[in-house]
């Protein structure tokens, strides 16, 4: 038994923050941002919007597209590092909002790898034979932890997310393989220092701007290129495939230079690489599900295609997933 993707969806806030808008806020320029990241704009929430609001819109679309009732959802997994609250979980809020009365669930924290980690977790629940409909969402409201005085981070990130319904199939398609990694030695290179039990919120932590995300960009870049390329090459080799066998490569949208380098090392041609970072920025756990749903909407994925996912994020976390596409019963 495999887990197949039965439906996909994505959602973003309505508000657009362009590079030209950022020029008015921080010492940067449209040219500087585009040349280093490939980003032209990003979506950000309005006051009062949160990750559960975006997630609920995704969940409602997934129910409609998969033609199932909310009572049929068995499990909800939300990959996010920007939950509405420490508790209750974002998954619990989504469960309430869509009236998924028979579902349980949890949040999964793996930063930019959150969606791939969530798909792997959900697929294993499906393979257990006890679950028929698993909802996996990757979402982040990164603007809530951005320091708009720090041009090295505030220009990169955006808000949004996407998701999928996983269902069982006895066909030879669906989620075929995955390789996931974590190395806590990289934790300090991409971190929100305060707000947890290590440095609880205080007057000093707020004054020191310690509740915003901090990153060592050069170190993260180096590890991201190597991590995404190596794990993608490994999963191809393990399944006796090469870059030419891949119909579409959907990498985490962190930085166009990282994506280009990873694709080149895997031998994947440029026209088979999905890049949409120019519109959304880095939505952390949201990048891959947004890109996947766009690809389906644009008819870039067909039954029988091999789809390769790859991610790298804080932790460090990274991984790759191989999917043989098929939505038929």
**Alpha carbon distance 24, 19 (integer Å):** 9
Regarding beta strands 104-108 and 75-79, do their DSSP bridges make them parallel or antiparallel, or are they unpaired?
A: parallel
Query: b/e per residue, 250-282, with b = 16+ CB within 10 A?
Result: bbbbbbbebbbbbbebbebeeebbbbebebbbb
Regarding beta strands 104-108 and 159-169, do their DSSP bridges make them parallel or antiparallel, or are they unpaired?
A: unpaired
| Lookup result for tokens 């060592």 | 216
Concatenated DSSP letters for 110-164? -GGGHHHHHHHHHHHHHHTTS-S-EEEEEEEEGGGG--TT-HHHHTTB-EEEEEE
Q: Could you report the per-residue pLDDT of 81-108, keeping only the tens digit for each?
A: 999 999 999 999 999 999 999 999 999 9
Residue from 252, 255, 266, 293 carrying the catalytic annotation: 252
Residue from 2, 133, 282, 293 carrying the catalytic annotation: 282
pLDDT of residue 257: 87
Q: Could you report the per-residue pLDDT of 133-172, keeping only the tens digit for each?
A: 999 999 999 999 999 999 999 999 999 999 999 999 999 8
Query: Domains of the chain, with CATH numbers?
Result: 2-174 (3.40.47.10), 176-324 (3.40.47.10)
Residue from 2, 112, 154, 266 carrying the catalytic annotation: 112
Residues of the chain scoring pLDDT < 70: 328-329
Is 252 a catalytic site residue?
Answer: yes
Strand order in the sheet with 134-141: 2-11, 159-169, 134-141, 75-79, 104-108
- 154 neighbors 26 (Cβ within 8 angstroms): yes
Q: Give the gyration radius of the chain's Cα atoms.
A: 19
Tokens of 208: 């020191």
**Alpha carbon distance 48, 293 (integer Å):** 26
pLDDT of residue 326: 87
pLDDT of residue 329: 45
Concatenated DSSP letters for 184-224? GGGGGGEE--SSSSSS---HHHHHTTTTS-EE-HHHHHHHH
Predicted model pTM: 0.96
Is 266 a catalytic site residue?
Answer: no
ω into 88 cis (within 30 of 0): yes
For the chain, how far is it from start to end, CA to CA, in angstroms? 13
Nearest to 39 by CA among 283, 319, 248: 283
Residue 209's alpha-carbon distances to 25, 117, 145, 202, 306, in angstroms, are: 17, 30, 10, 11, 44
Q: What are phi and psi of 297, to 5 degrees?
A: -60, -35
Is 112 a catalytic site residue?
Answer: yes
In the three-class reduction of DSSP (H, G, I as helix; E, B as strand; rest coil), residue 173 is classed as coil
């Amino acid at each position: 038994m495999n887990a197949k993707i039965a439906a996909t969806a994505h959602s973003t806030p309505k508000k657009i923050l362009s590079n030209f808008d950022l020029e008015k806020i921080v010492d940067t320029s449209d040219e500087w941002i585009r040349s280093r990241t490939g980003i032209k704009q990003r979506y950000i929430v309005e006051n009062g919007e949160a990750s559960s609001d975006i997630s609920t819109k995704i969940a409602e679309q997934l129910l409609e597209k998969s033609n199932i009732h909310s009572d049929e959802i068995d499990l909800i997994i939300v990959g996010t590092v920007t939950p509405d609250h420490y508790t209750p979980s974002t998954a619990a809020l989504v469960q309430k909002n869509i009236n998924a009365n028979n579902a349980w669930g949890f949040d999964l924290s793996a930063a930019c790898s959150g969606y791939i980690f969530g798909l792997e977790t959900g697929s294993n629940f499906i393979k257990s034979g006890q679950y028929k409909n698993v909802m996996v969402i990757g979402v982040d409201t990164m603007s809530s932890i951005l320091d708009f005085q720090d041009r090295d981070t505030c220009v990169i990130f955006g808000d949004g997310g996407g998701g999928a319904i996983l269902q069982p199939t006895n066909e030879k398609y669906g989620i075929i393989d995955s390789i996931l990694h974590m190395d806590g030695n990289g934790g300090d290179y991409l971190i929100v220092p305060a707000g947890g039990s290590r440095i609880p919120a205080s007057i000093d932590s707020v004054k020191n701007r310690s509740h915003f995300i901090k990153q060592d960009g050069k170190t993260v870049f180096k590890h991201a290129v190597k991590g995404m390329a190596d794990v993608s090459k490994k999963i191809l080799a393990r399944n006796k495939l090469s870059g030419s066998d891949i119909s579409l490569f959907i990498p985490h949208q962190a930085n166009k230079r990282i994506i280009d380098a990873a694709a080149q090392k895997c031998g994947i041609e440029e026209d088979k690489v999905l890049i949409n970072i120019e519109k959304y920025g880095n939505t952390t756990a949201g990048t891959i599900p947004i890109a996947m749903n766009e690809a389906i909407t644009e008819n870039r994925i067909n039954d029988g295609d091999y789809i390769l996912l790859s991610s790298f994020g804080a932790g460090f976390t990274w991984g790759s997933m191989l999917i043989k596409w098929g939505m038929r019963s």
